[in-house]
Every structure is written in structure tokens, then in C-alpha cells.
A and B are shown apart, each in its own frame.
Chain A
Amino acid sequence: MSAPGPFNSNAAAFFGGVKSAWTSVFFLVLAGTYIGMGALAHDYGFSSWWLALSSMLVWAAPGQVILISSLGLGAPPIEGAIAVGLSAIRLFPMVVALLPLLRGPSTRLRDLLLPAHFTSVSMWVESLRLLPGMPRERRIAFCNGLSVGYMSTAVTFGFVGYYLAGRLPPLFAGTLLFLTPLSFLISTARNARAMVDRLALVLGLILGPLLTYWHVGLDLMWTGVVGGSLAYGVHRLREAAR
């Protein structure tokens, strides 16, 4: 697919972005993810509006899953906050990589606030693919439209999952709830191309439940720091051995 456009105005670029979002493969991915998220929020005792607000403010599916599951299971808030913070470090290099594409000679910092907040995997992948073929002065508007398209999809299907979870028979509601861990497991495995990421995935799968079972405080933080650092250490040793 070539880059959409040309757009005569920022409004046209914005709606072009919304359209791009609703017709991209991420539409289906987000719909499935957020149906599962809705079921999760329902079964862990949150309201549907709380979920909608979390989708708009947090706007990172892994962070939201950690938030809902840790608070829902009654973990101390500080544990949840540390785990969410550690899971979100990846957003930092993503924003850093995105901004040079958006920034022009007359761009003000406040124009970049929204695109920075909107930065998430779906928006980032599509922006890096589509923005280079577009005039610089329309890119921020397009990027915001793209993000609004994705975010509205997430919020809408979050409500759908939430209401389905409350009305389906238990077996089907359980299936809906299973969507989150299952799709996260498989998509994380697909994204883990390097050996270090695959090892981190396996170590996390083992350490997470083990530390919980042993009642280790801050279990998610230790899962991440120990599992991730071990995987990184093995990666460094292998690099050095080459």
C-alpha cells in the first residue's frame, strides 16, 4: 500500500489517519485484544468506564493488563506501579525514534505532546511505515488521526468485551478471559526474534508464577529484573564468545 494522501488540509490529513487506522490489520488485533481486556476488567472487578479511561490514559495493552491483574488481585499499589513502569520503558526509544519524523522547522513542543502520548505499538509501526511518504506539515495531523482511530477501536471493543463477559454463560466468559494471556503469549513470542527476547520470555513464564507461589514481595518487578537481566547476561556472554 502506498502512503495515503495527498491531503489539502490538516483536517483532511486527520481523517485520512482515522481511515488508515480502521482499515489496517491492527484494527482486528486491537479489537481482539480489547475484547479480552474488557472481560479481564469485568472479572477483576472494575467498571466499564474505568476501563475506557485506562485505555485512553495508559494506552498500552501490557501496562493495562498488569494494572488490572495486579490491582484486581489485591497487590499493593506500589508493586503494580513498579511493574507498569518497568513494562513501559520500551516506549522511551519508540518516542525518540518517532519524533524526528514529525518535527519540522516550525513545530512547537506542545504540538508533539499528543503524538508522544499516543505512542504505542500499533500507531508506531504504522507511522514509521506511512509518514515518510507524506509532506512534513501534514504528518502530525495524520498521526493524531491514526491514533484516534486506534484508540476509539480499543475503547469500543473494551465495552463489547466487558458486556459480553457479564452476559455469556461461564464457559464462554472463561474463553473470553483466556483471550488476553493467550494472545499476549503468542504475540510476544512472535515479536521475540532475538535470542535474548526468547530467553526472557521463557524465564518470565517460569519466574512469574514461582515467585508468586513463594510469596516473594514485588514478584513482578523481580520477574522482570532477574529474568530480563539473566537473558541479557546470556546474550552478552554469547556475543563475547563469538
Chain B
Amino acid sequence: MNSALAELWPYLLLILVGYLPNEMWRMLGLVLARGLNEDSEIVVWSRAVATAIIAGVIAKLILFAAGALAGIPLGVRVGAAICGFLAFLAVKRSVFVGVLVGEAVLLLGGYLFAH
């Protein structure tokens, strides 16, 4: 691959893998803007599919960590996510508290059990 193409390649992927698959749904909504109920079956199903995909990505990011996160042991990463989630449930379903507690546990665990 020559250098100009190698430099443009990530941007081409951004358009093909990120922009177009995402944007087509917005444009479809613009063109087919007839009423679609929030509770219609297809909307319920598509929300479930999207939720499962995001959940899969979340779990992969935590379990198969890359970059700086890979330096923190697996047990600490999973433990921090569980603690953050429990804190979210315990304190008025606050996302802020959950994130704060999860991060604090990760920092502490990472400090104590560094590779």
C-alpha cells in the first residue's frame, strides 16, 4: 500500500464502517417519516438488538481490554464494574455515583494489584 492510501485508509473506513451504516437510518427516517409508535413491535425488537450489541461491546471492552486498561488485572476490572453497578442500584439509580464508585474501585485495585 503506498503511503497516501495508507494515510487515507482510516478515513475511508470511518465513512464505510461508521458513517454510512449509521446515517442510513436517519435518512430513512427522513424519507419514510410516517408515524411509528414507540411501542410498535419492530421498535421494541430493534431496541433489544441494539441493547444486546452495546452490552456485548461493553463486556468485550472490560474482559479483553487493550491499551492502558490491559495493565490492570482482569479481576480488578470486573470487580470495579460490578461495584459501580451495585452503587448505581443502591444510590437512587444515579449514573454519576455508579461511575464514580466503579472508577474509584478500579484505581484502588489497580494500585494494589498492579502487574
Contacts and interface: CB of A to CB of B under 8 A. Distances in A.
Contacts of B16: 77, 81
A226 to B, nearest CB: 8
Interface stretch (A5-13, A14-22, A140-148, A168-176): A168-176
Contact of A200 (B35, B49, B85, B99): B49
Given A63-B18, A63-B22, A174-B110, A86 B93 contact: no
B68 to A, nearest CB: 4
Contacts of B28: 92, 95
A171 B30 CA distance: 45
Contacts, number: 320
Contacts of A40: 61, 67
A228 B27 CA distance: 24
Given A185-B85, A200-B51, A220 B56 contact: yes
Given A77-B13, A186-B95, A209-B63, A58 B54 contact: no
B114 to A, nearest CB: 7
Contacts of B95: 29, 183, 186-187, 190
Contact of B60 (A46, A91, A177, A212): A212
Interface in B23-70: 23-30, 32-36, 38, 43-70
**Residue of B26, B48, B84 most packed against chain A (CB within 10 A):** B48
**Residue of B22, B54, B63, B71 most packed against chain A (CB within 10 A):** B54
B51 A91 contact: no
B35 A96 contact: yes
B15 interface: yes
Given A96-B29, A173-B68, A220-B53, A77 B17 contact: yes
**What is the interface residue range for chain B against chain A?**
35 or more
28 contacts: A44-B66, A50-B10, A57-B18, A58-B22, A59-B22, A65-B61, A81-B21, A83-B57, A84-B18, A86-B53, A113-B30, A175-B110, A177-B67, A178-B80, A178-B102, A178-B106, A181-B61, A184-B58, A185-B81, A188-B54, A196-B44, A200-B47, A200-B52, A204-B54, A207-B52, A212-B64, A224-B52, A227-B48
A67 B29 CA distance: 22
Interface of B: 10-11, 13-30, 32-36, 38, 43-72, 77, 80-81, 84-85, 88, 93, 95, 98-99, 102-103, 106-107, 110-111, 114
